[in-house]
Amino acid sequence: MIAVSPAPVVLSADVWRERERAHAERADALTADHRARAARGEKHPVWDFLFTYYSYSPAQLRRWHPGAGVELADAAGDARASWRWYAPGASTGSLVVDRPAMEAEKAPLLRTVERILRSTASRPGRFGCFGLHEWAMVYRQEEHRHPVPLRLGREATDAVVESHELRCTHIDAFRFFTSDAVPLNRFAPTRETQPELEQPGCLHAGMDVYKWAMKLGPLVPGEVLLDAFELARDIRLLDMQASPYDMRPWGAEPVAIETAEGKAEYVRRQRAFAERSNALRARILDIWPGVEQAAA
């Protein structure tokens, strides 16, 4: 049985409509370049990832929600009245996110999201991977997944992998390792062990805060969702700068992790992303503490 939620905070129509408008403008600005490229049929090896691997459209990102525990005054005549997971609020003509209904229907998924957010934030970050997951994805391969040249060439790229220890903890990076790279990794992540291995120093775990915020849907305020998207965008840039690919034609100057200077820059930025991702995890769990089970 799902526990009863506390009385919601009520936002006046003027306040929530202004927040909705500001959210749409900010989302449009964040996706403008992608939408323009898509209209031209143009691919981008750095930024398309934010809309393909994370398969959420600009329209989904643009949709504002108030978050759990917020009632919207005078919203019953708004289009959102037909959206899923909204219900009449306590006041006449108001709407509120139907948290109990969403938690009842999606309890297994939401418990998994909550567990990953909490467990990741509770662990110290690991900062010695140097982004070698991308290098492991091309190790000893004549051809690779992306039609972008390798910055050092194939043999030198393989030599970088062989001169380092692979320490990837993230299943959605590890699953793309080449068969020769798999046994070189210190860890063997699986989907089942994901909650036990996720840690805030991992760039992919930081980007995934955006995915978890999207999966929580209307339980997460739109402002937090856009902050998570911006974090994913910023991390994606470092991920590609530190990769074996030559991304300079697409505006990504290399972070040469095969050098001491490149390693130091990578770790400095990695630590900053760990702080940002943990701050977002805390914000999400403060607004939505998770699926609450009533005492048996």
Among 40, 120, 46, smallest CA distance to 281 is for 120
Token duo for residue 66: 């108030």
Query: Residue 292 falls within a domain, yes or no?
Result: no
Instruction: Please report the pLDDT score of residue 57 as a whole number.
Output: 96
Asked if residue 3 belongs to a domain, the reply is no
Total of domains in the chain = 1
Q: Give the residue among 245, 284, 257, 258 at the shortest CA–CA distance from 115.
A: 284
Establish if 237 belongs to a structural domain.
yes
pLDDT at 107: 95
Q: Is residue 293 part of a domain?
A: no
The dihedral region occupied by 86, where left means phi > 0, alpha psi between -120 and 50, and beta the remainder, is beta
Taking every pair of C-alpha atoms in the chain, what is the biggest distance, in angstroms? 69
Are 98 and 72 spatial neighbours (Cβ–Cβ below 8 Å)? no
Residue 74 is classified by DSSP as T
Report if residue 226 sits inside a domain: yes
Q: Which two tokens stand for residue 278?
A: 């943990």
Q: Kindly tell me the burial class for residue 109, based on how many C-beta atoms sit within 10 Å of its own C-beta (0-12, 13-18, 19 or more).
A: middle
Q: Which domain holds residue 155?
A: 9-287
- Inter-residue contact 71 to 95 (CB < 8 Å): yes
- Please tell me the distance from the alpha carbon of residue 115 to that of residue 194, in angstroms, as a whole number: 10
What's the pLDDT score for residue 2? 43
Q: What is the pLDDT of residue 284?
A: 97
Nearest to 30 by CA among 247, 175, 230: 230
Cβ partners under 8 Å of residue 123, min gap 6: 198, 199, 200
Helix, strand, coil distribution of the chain in percent, nearest 5: 55, 5, 40
Q: pTM value?
A: 0.94
* pLDDT tens, the chain, 296 aa long: 344 456 779 999 999 999 999 999 999 999 999 999 999 999 999 999 999 999 999 999 999 999 999 999 999 999 999 999 999 999 999 999 999 999 999 999 999 999 999 999 999 999 999 999 999 999 999 887 778 999 999 999 999 999 999 999 999 999 999 999 999 999 999 999 999 999 999 999 999 999 999 999 999 999 999 999 999 999 999 999 999 999 999 999 999 999 999 999 999 999 999 999 999 999 999 999 988 643 22
φ/ψ of residue 240, rounded to 5: -80, -30
- Residue 294 domain flag: no
Task: Determine contact, residues 216/110, Cβ cutoff 8 Å.
Answer: yes
Taking alpha carbons only, the member of 31, 43, 67 closest to residue 233 is 31
With respect to residue 40, please indicate whether it lies within any of the assigned structural domains. Answer: yes
**Do the domain assignments include residue 180?**
yes
Enumerate the H helices of the chain as residue ranges: 13-40, 49-52, 58-62, 99-105, 107-122, 132-136, 154-162, 171-174, 194-197, 203-216, 222-241, 260-287
Structure tokens at 120: 């990741």
Which long-range contacts link 85-94 to residues 24+ away (Cβ below 8 Å)?
85/217, 85/218, 86/218, 89/8, 89/10, 90/7, 90/8, 91/10, 94/10
**Are 51 and 57 spatial neighbours (Cβ–Cβ below 8 Å)?**
yes
Exposure b/e, 253-266, CB count within 10 A at least 16 = b: ebbbbbeeebbebb
